[in-house]
Structure 1
Amino acid sequence: MSYGFYIYGILTLPAPENLNLEGLDRQPVQIKILDDFAVIYSEAQQERYLASRRNLLSHEKVLEEIMQAGDVYDGLRQRNLLPVQFGLLVASWETFSQQLIRPHQEELTQLLAKLSGRREVSVKVFWDTEAEIQGLLAENPDIKTERDKLAGQPLNMEQVIQIGQAIEQGMSDRKQGIINLFQGTLNSIAIDVVENNPQMDTMIYNAAYLIPWEAESQFSEQVEALDHQFEERLRIRYNNFTAPFNFARLRLFSSN
């Protein structure tokens, strides 16, 4: 039974040839030319794909391998790919073209032009909350003295709130100081920056950067320098290559 076509992304022409990639359900990845675009797809074996870790990784692997296997100019990979969010299935190419491609042709062209010769990298910054509180108290003995009184004698509610607010403000200032340094160091290298919400309490910064392919070594060096600057205080997770999901925001390609 046919479930249509599972879509991974869209490329400008000319389309890549002789693909040897496996997509979801180990189906061969293929190219369909539609309205001056090359659509990356495989034949769907399910009516709906669950967003499991295995499926998500398979989806992203297809996109990354196509980008890495892009045409080479001056030794650089230049495949400008518009990734589609996980989970998009289409019943027929005619429907896909009429409802999705043609009405948004200009926007697609502009997005692909923006992504040409560029890649997405990401930086996530984590800290040890308790260690940072201790650092804050060490640097602010007045706050520490007031906090220590909590253990020594009864305080009224107003005093407790004041101490809590002082610690909260101090932590906020420490966090913002780190974020400002990362922004000042990295943002100037990027064409565009998207700051996403932290994914957990210990994550204090979560940003994606659209950079020229050839700028990755410079960007990586700056991330490494920041890592050395903070020594063991921070944990930095740097992803130096991914499909540019954060910079390809086209509502029609959401799986929702």
Structure 2
Amino acid sequence: MGYGLYLYGIFPLPGPQDLDLEGLDKQPVGAHTIDEFVFLYSEAQQERYLASRKNLLGHERVLEQAMEQGYRTLLPLQFGLIIENWNSVEQQLITPQGNALKQLFVKLDGKREVGVKVFWDQSAELETLMQEDEELRIKRDRHEGKPLSMDQVVQIGQAIEQAVTTRKESIIKVFQTNLNALAVEVAENDVLTDTMIYNAAYLIPWDAEAEFGEQVEQLDLQFEGRLKIRYNNFTAPYNFAQVKDRE
């Protein structure tokens, strides 16, 4: 068995049938049933898989291809999970968490995860802010070219920072107002870069994606030239059903 078995995700019975998928290290993907749970796995060729872009995409691709073939109810497992044998899965996961897994299957039945990431140009937003906020602009310009005390620097900086934060929150509110009502559940995640201002995942009915995608397009038009929106309309439901290995 080499380094053991690499696990990708869990499906309810009957689970994927006759899938012809290639996993990490170009290993064939198989399905193994334990009680009411079907695990997608391949033989691990490494003792530990680094979280490289290639490996992460390979892990995700296996799950997405299974979903594309109609096996939509899925609990994705965290990247890099390797087990020695199936007995360890039964003892460490199925026995203590079996009922919780079944509840997640019910929750995810007929639903999918989509994601929205929103980016802005902070310099452009700050310049627009100064054009629109006369009081703030006057406060800044009044001290231009003059030596400032530390208190003055802090005060002006805090005023600008607060105005930028308010501006950012007003944009986020528009996305929340237009998208949250279309979702069964929403997960707001940390922003990943300095230019990203919003990062959210939505659990929506599977057949409601067209309506949701249309709403995202409307927001894109509303903020055209001001924001960049990245919309992922097809992904494994990590934000709503991630099952982590037990220590």
- The equivalent position to 1:173 in structure 2, one of 163, 166, 175, is 166
Alpha-carbon RMSD across the aligned residues, in angstroms, is: 1.3
Q: 2:78·2:242 contact (CA, 8 Å) conserved in 1?
A: no
- Paired position in structure 1 for 2:37: 37
TM superposition shift of 1:187: 0.3
Q: 1:55: which partner in 2? A: 55
Tell me, in whole angstroms, the C-alpha distance in 1 between the residues paired with 2:63 and 2:179.
25
State the SS of the aligned residue for 1:252: coil
Shift of 1:20: 0.5
Partner of 2:24: 24
Alignment match of 1:134 (pick from 117, 127, 133): 127
Give the 3-state SS of the residue equivalent to 2:116 in structure 1.
Answer: strand
- Please list every run of 5 or more consecutive structure 2 residues that lacks an aligned counterpart in the other structure: none
Establish whether residue 244 from structure 1 lines up as the match of residue 237 from structure 2: yes
- Measure how far apart 1:157 and its partner are: 2.5
Asked whether 1:205 is paired with 2:198, we answer yes
Asked if 1 retains the 8 angstrom alpha-carbon contact of 2:118 and 2:229, the reply is yes
Kindly provide the CA deviation profile for residues 93-112 of structure 1, in whole angstroms up to 9, marking residues without a partner as x: 11111221121110000111
Could you tell me which of 176, 184, 208 is aligned with 1:183?
Answer: 176
Q: For residues 101-180 of structure 1, what are the structure 2 equivalents within 5 Å?
A: 101-180=94-173
**Contact conserved, 1:125 with 1:204, CA < 8 A, in 2?**
yes
- The one-letter code sitting in structure 2 at the alignment partner of 1:98 is Q
- Looking at structure 2, the residues matched to 20 and 161 of structure 1 have their Cα atoms a distance apart, in angstroms, of 61
Is residue 127–residue 204 contact of structure 1 (8 Å, CA) maintained in 2?
Answer: yes
Q: Following TM superposition, where does structure 1 have runs of at least 4 consecutive aligned residues deviating by more than 6 angstroms?
A: none
Asked whether the equivalents of residues 35 and 102 of structure 1 are also in contact (C-alpha less than 8 Å), the reply is: no
AA partner of residue 39 (structure 2): V
Q: Paired residues, what number? A: 247
How far did residue 134 of structure 1 move?
0.7
CA distance in 1, matches of 2:7, 2:244: 15
Separation (CA, whole Å) in 1 of partners of 2:89 and 2:123: 52
* TM-score (normalised: structure 2): 0.96
Gaps of 5+ in 1: 72-78
Task: Provide the TM-score with structure 1 as the length reference.
Answer: 0.93
Which whole-Å deviations, capped at 9, do the CAs of 1:173-220 have from their partners, x for residues lacking one? 100000111000000011111100100111000001111111100000
Shift of 1:21: 0.4
Q: How many Å separate the matches in 1 of 2:214 and 2:24? A: 35
Amino acid at match of 2:199: N
Q: CA deviation at 1:164?
A: 1.1
Identity across aligned pairs (percent)?
A: 58
